[in-house]
Each structure stands twice: as structure tokens, then as C-alpha cells.
Structure 1
């Protein structure tokens, strides 16, 4: 028996894990876990109360092919972060294609006409659908499709709030000192605004910088990966991402984004700062390898860690902490 869902985000070849679990797209890990447990009790072969063999088989398929993979994706921070980046990209795509999208469910149509209270309307719509989503086994796929259409409308409207808006140039006036086409005077041209000020990913960069200040590197990386996906040649986004990867002791990834930033803008401040930190760290590592951190017998002294190798029992990728670059950032004192 093949289960196919062709509405909502699914019709864009996107697996809507939030719709499968019946939770909002901003659901936290605890809510996701609780929802999964409830669904598992209804669909798992050991606890499913379906009467017919066909329903039990359908429940088993739904659980193994939809519910379990969805929970596996959303329950782990790394995979959930990656998924949310893709989901945000899907929202931007939907916003750009809004005129072509047709809705088939009443709840999605009502949400599409919601005004300033769209967030509340969205949460209520998801909650109402989730109440009965897994009550009737042969209607579960349709319920998932309805929730996915609600998600589709929400993402489309949220990401589309800034679509189509352009910044109009300031009107030229005699007191503005700007040369107009009809002016007979030759005056210096106005200095153009820096690219980041008009960049659509500037909010991502600003939030990421704030996260780095608070030593919340994971969220900074999420913002910046989304930024470079939208604008592959944004030097500030690459520079900040290079800095974030340094915080996570991922030197190779840091170097890639630092070099990209400097390739686009050789004077990018964040990239230059990150490069300085990287160069210093690599210089220290090289110095240690040259014999400063070893005994005359070539062995590492007791209590010392061989250069480039993280201390035993401590992950190399610990957020904002030790490793090769840990001492070069102003983190919290322990």
C-alpha cells in the first residue's frame, strides 16, 4: 500500500515534518517530543487499537515511513537546524510564487486572509487540526495534507511581508547638494550607501552578531547559513560565518568563508578579524609542533595536550569554548 500526499508543501517535493507531527513550524523540542509520544501510542504496532488488518498495516506504514523519520529529523538539534534553514528557503520560494498558488482547504483560505494576528490564527488552526489528526487511520494522510497547506500559507505570508518593497531614492533638492539631470552645476556625487544596509540578509547578519555576542554560536550559524544561501556573495555574512565557525573550532569551514568574504570585499572587517585570529591560532599550533610543547625526548609532557588534538573527553566542536581558538574569544568565565 503506497501513501502519497500531494498537497501543501508536499506538492513542492518537500517533506513537511511539522505537518506530519501536527505541530507549528516553531515548535520547541519538548512539544515535538510530547506530540510524537502521543502519535506513537496510536500507530505503533504494539499499541495500535485498529480493528482490521488493513488499518493496522496502514498505521504501521504511517508510523515507519512518516512519523518516525519526521521525529528523527526534528528531535536532534543539528538536523532540526538544517531542516529549518531549508524550510525558510521554501517560505521565500512560496512568497515569490504566491500568485500561482491555489488553496483547497477552508482553514488555509481563512488563514490567507488573516491580518496582523496571523501568528495567533496560525497556531489556532494547527491546534484545531491536530486534535483529530490521528483519530481515524484512513484519514490521517488527508489530515497531514491539510496541516501542510496551513503551513504553506503561513510561510508564504510571513516571508512575503517584505517582498516587493523597494527603497525609493530621496528626492533631489537645491539644498541637498545633489546634482540633478537638469542642473547646470557639477557637484560631487553622493556616496552610495554600504551594501549591507540595503541587503535583504542584513537582519540575519545583525541577529547573528547579537548571538555571537551572547556566545550562542549555534543560532548564529543558523542565521548566517540562511544568509549566504540567499546571497552567496554577501561578504559580511561570510565573514561572520567564518568567525562563528572559529568559535566552534571548525578551522577548515572558517577558512572557506573567511576567504570567500575577502574575495568579495578585501576590507571586510569581520573577515579580517577572523583571519587574524585564525592566523594567530595556526601560528601557535605550528610553534607547539616545532618543539616548544615537547620534551627533549619528543614526548608530550605530563598534563599537556598534543598540538591540534582536543583534550580527552572534550569534543572538538564545543560551542564557544576551548580547543584551538577558545582562548581567543571573550567568553564567560567559568
Structure 2
């Protein structure tokens, strides 16, 4: 008989994390849960699953019967759903009380622990895991473990101190000086935006542009005059092939610091894109980015 035991995240607290099993966020509406279950069931059911190997088909069948369907049943009945929600609230309080003993195994959960905007980060990271959760029957339990650990950190952030970062909240931004200056002071090395820039560079190195964008946008809300932040945000948008969103950040970065290296790199990429657009769109009399960096408008 197959065993589907999970020992990470909320499961290690003796709680069956049905949200993690189905790959839905803890605040998901029942309609969302139902749609998600329908897609999973179609993929795992013996008549519709895409797996060719007999071992994979059998594993998929067992996952549906022993893991996925019981998790969905917990939501489909209103009485059980309410009981589950009450239990989840209790688990959240327990997570906060036991946070000193929290030991995270996945890097994705550690990332959420210190993210500036924990709500957006949680939804983005969970969606990334959910998209690949049932690609392979052999990897389902590993991803369920990661999602449950993500849920554990989310509850910790949500319940403790109004969602502030753990172990300590981000520092409060200093008020702007009333005396206008033409050249902004260099950012402190330990400032919120510099920390976000460092994290964003690592994320961009592994092509996780979506999370890098979240980090940078949240940090720039607190320190909007940081040229490095704008330059990196421009590059991150280019990594997602969104030149129109990249352009204003590149322009702003160069206004703040004409020698900002990431912005200069992004500017070169934008100019190459503009050249390709001119060549491919003969009817257009001007480039997509013409005039933005000093070119003539037509």
C-alpha cells in the first residue's frame, strides 16, 4: 500500500494542509479550489492522464484517490470547511508561538520570510510551484512539502506583527529633506532598497524576473530616488520582454545618475529593440523609443 506522508511545513504540526495538496493559496475562494481540483483530477484520472508508464499511471491514480480527493472533500462540505478554517486559525497562532524553533528547508520559504511585500510574494511563489506540481507523479509530494512550508511562513507573517518581516521589520524610511538637491545622496549600503537590489540581482541571475520586479517595486516605494533600483527594474522588465515598462525606469535612473551601469546596459538593449522594430515595421516613421534618450521625434 502506497504511503503519502509529508513531514514539512504545516504537516509537521500534525495538520493536514489541504491547501498545499491542491496547490491553492490559504485565502482561496471555494470556486477557485473547485476549478483547481477539476484540473488536477483530469490530469491524474486513469482515463485522461497523459502518463505512459504503467507505474506512473498507478501512482497518479493513488495520488488522486488517497491524497487529492480527500483534500478537496474537506472543502466541498460546508461543515468540514468551517471546521478546517477554525483549525487553520489555531495552527497560525501556534506557528507564531513556535517561531523560534522554525527550521526551513526550502529556499523559496526563506525568501518569503524576509520579503518586503509578503502577500504578493507568497502568491507569486505559490503560483510558480502550483504550475509544476502535477507535471510528474513522482515529484508531487516534494512540491506539496514546499507549498506547505510556504504556507507556514505566510501564516507567521500574517499573524505576527501585522505581516512584518521576520525576525525584524524593514526599517522605516527617513523623511525627505525640505531643501531641494540636484544630486541625491548615495544610498546607504544597508538601506532597504540596496538589500532589495542585491536580492534582485540574484533572482535575475536565475531568470526569476517576476520576483525580482516585486522586490524592487516594493523597495522603490520607500526610496524612490535610488538610481540602481530603477536601473535594475528596467533590466528585470526587459528580461520579461516588456520594454514599455522598462523605459521609464531606465530614463529615471539615468536622470538620477547618468553613469548608472545597469541603466546604461538597459538603454543599449532598448536601442537595439528600437532598431529591430524600425526594420520590421516599415510603415512606422519613428522607432519605438525614439526621442526618449535624445533621439529626434518624427
TM normalised by structure 1 equals 0.47
Q: Distance in 1 between matches of 2:91 and 2:120?
A: 21
Greater shift after overlay, 154-163 or 5-14? 154-163
Q: Which residue of 2 aligns with 1:127?
A: 127
In structure 1, list runs of 5 or more residues that go unmatched.
164-334
Give matches, 1:1-334, under 5 Å: 1-115=2-116, 117-161=117-161
Deviations 1:73-114 (A, max 9, x none): 112322111101100100100100001011011110000002
The answer to whether the 8 A contact 1:45-1:60 is kept is yes
In structure 2, list runs of 5 or more residues that go unmatched.
164-298
The answer to whether the 8 A contact 1:96-1:160 is kept is no
Decide which structure has the larger Cα Rg and report it.
Answer: 1
Indicate the SS of the match to 2:65.
Answer: helix
The answer to whether the 8 A contact 2:46-2:61 is kept is yes
> Size of the alignment, in residue pairs?
162
Q: Distance in 1 between matches of 2:109 and 2:28?
A: 19
The answer to whether the 8 A contact 1:32-1:75 is kept is no
TM normalised by structure 2 equals 0.53
Indicate the SS of the match to 1:83.
Answer: helix
The answer to whether the 8 A contact 2:96-2:159 is kept is yes
Structure holding more helix per residue: 2
The answer to whether the 8 A contact 2:59-2:137 is kept is yes
Q: Which residue of 2 aligns with 1:329?
A: none
The answer to whether the 8 A contact 1:111-1:122 is kept is yes
The answer to whether the 8 A contact 1:22-1:130 is kept is yes
